[in-house]
Chain A
């Protein structure tokens, strides 16, 4: 089972920041949080991942709480092309299973003009 819970849907106005929350209260100390998004009929697109510290790249920022039980993905200036389903995933750690990503239901983000 997925170790994350996310709201099923969110709306965001174009040009505003989109803040997508994720709960992962049972995360282990060596497990990473990954974010992907999926646009209809395409494979998941990698966004960002992190372990403890906040991370930022050209696509987004990832804020992880100090207790690591939740995180927030921030798209600083959402555009219509950011409309997609966003998945927050805790990566299974170690061995041959260390790459295994169990998907939950994700958050369907709709960016509106």
Chain B
């Protein structure tokens, strides 16, 4: 079946640096992808909608300059956490609905653990 892959699975970075997380749809095209963040013992919180060929749409309270999203192709979206701080440490997850149809299965990536030290 369709698969969504994230890379890296986990990353440790120093405060003040930037880190990029990739989300790929492996055998289908996705004009839209979604990025979520999850803190321990909490539910997933939608951060933004990544749109191929146009700007991302951010949810209220999410800083667009902090979390840069680029949807470079129909199979790849990237999330860059800029000037990372310890409070940005979290589990980041992407999802990708196959293009076409509102009743399609939506797949999630395996998630990426970010630790900022």
Contacts and interface: CB of A to CB of B under 8 A. Distances in A.
Interface of A: 30, 32, 34, 36, 38, 41-46, 49, 51, 87, 91, 93-94, 96-106
A34 to B, nearest CB: 7
A99 B95 contact: yes
Q: Which 4 A-B pairs have the closest CB atoms?
A: A99-B97, A43-B108, A103-B44, A43-B111
Interface residues of B, number: 29
A111 B80 CA distance: 38
Given A34-B106, A43-B109, 5 more contacts: A41-B111, A43-B6, A43-B93, A46-B106, A49-B103
Interface of B: 4, 6, 31-32, 34, 36, 43-46, 49, 51, 57, 91, 93, 95-97, 102-111, 113
Nearest to B33: A99
Contacts of B43: 87, 103-106
Contacts of B108: 36, 43-46
B36 to A, nearest CB: 8
A100 B94 CA distance: 11
Of listed B43, B46, B106, residue having the most chain A CB within 10 A: B106
A46 B104 CA distance: 11
A103 B102 CA distance: 17
B102 A100 contact: no
Contacts of A34: 106
A44 B106 CA distance: 10
Contact of B49 (A36, A94, A97, A104): A97
